[in-house]
Amino acid sequence: MREDYQKRYKRAYALKKKIVTFPLDIPFYDELSRRSMLTNITVNSYAKTIVTTYLNNEKPLVLNPYQQEKISEYIRISRGIANNFNQMAHNSNMGFGVDINMLLQTLKTYEDNFSELIKSLSDDYQIH
């Protein structure tokens, strides 16, 4: 039964995907490997990204660890905002009042956090 499943899976996979292999001179492979390490993904995934973005006429979407860290920081701040709003909405729905001063202070704190994040990005990329 498991063999039947695997055969069906492989057949379906072969209809949707094709594996491409080709030789690459060592200097090109070394450069590909170096760039993949900078983006923290495998050489094959990096090569696939390059090919698919080129074929789609897109700008490469490969992030280095620093960019990944900044995006994670942005997500953390955003989740904090969403979590606080959910708590306030829950309290409001339960009949508890919402402290407007606390709400404004929370919003000010998040605005300051976002401003710092944007400033650090603009300093890093010299955007003025």
* Average predicted confidence (pLDDT) for the chain: 80
Q: For the CA atoms of the chain, what is the radius of gyration?
A: 24
Strand (E) or helix (H) holding 84: helix 65-93
With tokens 């890093």, the residue in question is 124
Q: Which phi-psi region, left, alpha or beta, contains residue 40 (left: φ > 0; alpha: ψ -120 to 50)?
A: left
**pLDDT tens across 82-112, in order?**
787 788 788 888 887 777 787 788 778 878 8
Give 70-84 pLDDT, tens digit per residue. Answer: 777 877 877 877 787
For 7-22, what is each residue's pLDDT tens digit? 899 899 889 988 888 8
Closest CA to 120 of 59, 80, 60, 71: 71
